[in-house]
Structure 1
């Protein structure tokens, strides 16, 4: 098979069919990986069969979610983890989710420069993706990008979410290990309650460990966990760590805790349950996406039923049943 990079630099690259990219992705070609993720993100119909084939080669990577309130230092922590994990010999992949630009719809890169520098120096693969208005802290094609990296042999794969709020905890159905990052000195004991993210954390990390406020924030989070605010779906006791992403202080402890949680999932049998729940959520999310596409394709029918509901000649449930082709009794 001709290499994916089949182009003369003086000419525009030729379009390679997505199915032809699959062997290159499995071989670890960075160009093929980038192209396949772009087609997943662009929702190319032509890439559907290729992504389905790629999915058959997934399920090997440890997926780590990094989330927390805005400004906690997630990108800095990810950059530090890239360096530390690659030094251990890991082939690290990162999918970094950014808020969408209100003008172009593209990702607002923020402080991705530091992360990309770390990736380039350590042969990691980093991809920024825009939320495109999707709530939940992730982008619609996040997990397809993770699939591509998984099939290409990357592990662990880190998903960095946008800053989460009360309802933006979708990362818990995407990752095997969820790290919730808090910054010291910002009243994080109150923030954590408001954000509703205490219960999704497998590991709590307080950034800027060199600050005197860090110890107080660690104590506050431990206090909340002692009051029953932690996870209830696991026998794993969520540890609380203070680290400094800049100096590297306590990063080894975080790496060890990540390894321990991955081993705990395997040994306890929780991995199978978590995988089942994650796959179930993916099916439901894809079903909702396909329903939306169906509605968009039948815009005239949708408008007709919409007007009927507005005029109170129909009701939302009846209109939905008709649009889905279901019987009224459903």
Structure 2
């Protein structure tokens, strides 16, 4: 068993090994997880969480790396959670993102962590909210969460981030894909990367047109900007940072930032509660109560909804 208070103190000092251990406790659903979260609670709420999503091949990792460079130039400590597909062999994260961001590996002001989705359908690891909290408590000013680009599941980033960035690239049919996946509804900032390619202007125009369709924004509402970048050369990245800062200022002015963080906390509570209930119900397999209810359904004495209500009451009272 590790001394949680000591680990938290070391993480606050910016020691990457302590941060790594805390996130490992989170990922492994350690018995010490409650103690970790209790210790971190008063230390959080300062980091600005930016989610980056988009189809595979649009340059998410390159863009993330370029944003890290820009924020470090501004003197900010940066945390990166690169949420990768789970390896079918080990269940661990594939480290392609880390390889691309290796230029920041020796910078003590940057912490990079790859996390496996472990089959979780939202593209985000189930442990991502707690990992974000670890990086927040460890003194990161900005946390970049880069998600797996896998179609409709990309929308889950909106529930984890203060600001969601949607990346597209010309020549990939991304406009249609974006409309299909529903990510037009979650983006706060849109980035057309690889803007040195043919079709970049057309992609930006198409995106602008789609964002305008059915738009019901009032005069003071946020209108997502579209920024063109060539992330591999760092072009347009300062404009992305400027757009992010403008969105953050707008959210703070209109109370949206607090609303989003409250919604995030509510969802996290619900997820933890549902997981606990599911575990307790799972423990009933082979239990006489479950078998008795099943027998009554088969005999036509009880419908499955009333049986489920009875089971939930028994589990929550127990």
* TM > 0.5: yes
Distance in 2 separating the partners of 1:122 and 1:115: 14
Match of 1:43 among 29, 46, 54: 29
Q: Does 1:186 align with 2:160?
A: no
- SS of aligned partner of 2:157: helix
Give per-residue Cα distances to partners, 1:215-238, cap 9 Å, x unaligned: 111111000011136989x81110
- Is the Cα contact below 8 Å between 1:200 and 1:230 reproduced in 2? no
Distance in 1 separating the partners of 2:293 and 2:18: 43
Post-superposition offset of 1:299: 3.1
Q: Which moved more, 1:213-222 or 1:16-25?
A: 16-25
5+ long unaligned stretches in structure 1: 1-14
Distance in 2 separating the partners of 1:18 and 1:309: 49
- Counterpart for residue 135 of structure 2: 149
- Counterpart for residue 65 of structure 2: 79
Q: Does 1:285 align with 2:271?
A: yes
Q: Which moved more, 1:274-283 or 1:127-136?
A: 274-283
Match of 2:109 among 123, 136, 141: 123
Distance in 1 separating the partners of 2:20 and 2:175: 40
Distance in 2 separating the partners of 1:87 and 1:180: 23
- Counterpart for residue 132 of structure 1: 118
- Counterpart for residue 305 of structure 2: 317
In the TM superposition, structure 1's runs of 4+ consecutive aligned residues that sit over 4 Å from their partners are: 229-232, 305-315
TM-score by length of 2: 0.90
Distance 1:306 1:252, change over 3 A: farther
Give per-residue Cα distances to partners, 1:2-61, cap 9 Å, x unaligned: xxxxxxxxxxxxx52334322222232211111010000000012311222202211111
- Counterpart for residue 209 of structure 2: 223
- Is the Cα contact below 8 Å between 1:138 and 1:171 reproduced in 2? yes
- Is the Cα contact below 8 Å between 2:297 and 2:304 reproduced in 1? no
Q: Which moved more, 1:132-141 or 1:120-129?
A: 120-129
Q: How many residues align?
A: 312
Match of 1:213 among 178, 199, 217: 199
Q: Does 1:304 align with 2:291?
A: yes
Give per-residue Cα distances to partners, 1:119-146, cap 9 Å, x unaligned: 4347310110001111112101101111
Distance 1:218 1:20, change over 3 A: same
Say what the alpha-carbon RMSD is for the aligned residues.
2.4
- Counterpart for residue 236 of structure 1: 222
Distance in 1 separating the partners of 2:249 and 2:156: 23
Post-superposition offset of 1:82: 1.0
Distance in 2 separating the partners of 1:306 and 1:183: 54
Match of 2:144 among 144, 147, 158: 158
TM-score by length of 1: 0.87
5+ long unaligned stretches in structure 2: none
Match of 1:26 among 6, 9, 12: 12
Match of 1:103 among 65, 71, 89: 89
Distance in 2 separating the partners of 1:150 and 1:201: 23
Distance 1:122 1:88, change over 3 A: farther
- Is the Cα contact below 8 Å between 1:82 and 1:122 reproduced in 2? no
